[in-house]
Amino acid sequence: MKYIGSTIIIVAFFSIAAAAQQLSALEIAKKTIAASGGDSWRDPRTLELSGTATLYWGDKSYRMTTYHMWRVFPGSNDNARNANGKVRFDALEGDKTFFRIAFDGKSTSQFLSDEAKAHEELLRWGNNFGFSIFRYVENEGFSVIRLPDDKIDDHPCYLIKIVDPKKGETIFGIDKKTFHIRYAAFRTPIGFHQRIYDDFKWSKNPRFIQPRSLRIFNDGVKIADVFWSEFKIDQPIADSVFVF
């Protein structure tokens, strides 16, 4: 009889493990949306991020003392690699503009320093768009496939693949404990693009989870470290921001 308590604990452990294993890819995606803020994360209007970054391009590193993003989200999305909605990135080394690039919903405007011009392909929208497709995973025409579990930075994660209606494939790593997105990856014309997220912080109103640390890799080589120190959700952004 003295082993009954231990037996119950062991049975409970394996029951929990079995339940986790039985989660479908879509169930994991739904839990991720809920754990990220629910409707306010799935359907944000705008997002503004500011911080710093180090870009590892070629054999040099470039320290961005100002790294700023403005984003107006689209109402729908069926292609993970297409630029959509509105977006702008500014990267400055002190007072020097390293690059500025924006999409106003129809066309792209950009200013590139000589150093940025040498690596212009890294800035093309099709080589960078992918994360936001997660928000539309429950829409018609999408499919979700569960992949083998793994660890991201020693965090046990579910891995799933989202296939959009245009057959674009994006892989996501979901923290098994928090259901936060720790990893996103997709193929591009210039290599296999990978992103690793950490340092998650909540916005309380609206409720929205934002990773403040981002590492970006291309074909296994790190090309950027990004640190977002501030973020704003659903604040008005003027159309003029996206035209210069």
Eight-state DSSP code of residue 43: S
CA distance readout (Å), 230 to 48, 50, 65, 69, 131:
8, 5, 14, 11, 19
Q: How many CA atoms lie within 13 A of 47 on its CB side?
A: 21
What's the pLDDT at 2?
Answer: 54
What's the pLDDT at 7?
Answer: 53
What predicted TM-score, i.e. pTM, was given to this entire model?
A: 0.90
134: tokens are: 């997660």
For the chain, list residues with pLDDT below 50.
Answer: 1, 10-16
What's the pLDDT at 168?
Answer: 95
d(CA 121, CA 109): 15
What's the pLDDT at 70?
Answer: 98
Of 86, 60, 64, 108, residue with least CA distance to 236: 86
Torsion from C-alpha of 28, 220, 124, 113, nearest 10 degrees: 140
What's the pLDDT at 19?
Answer: 53
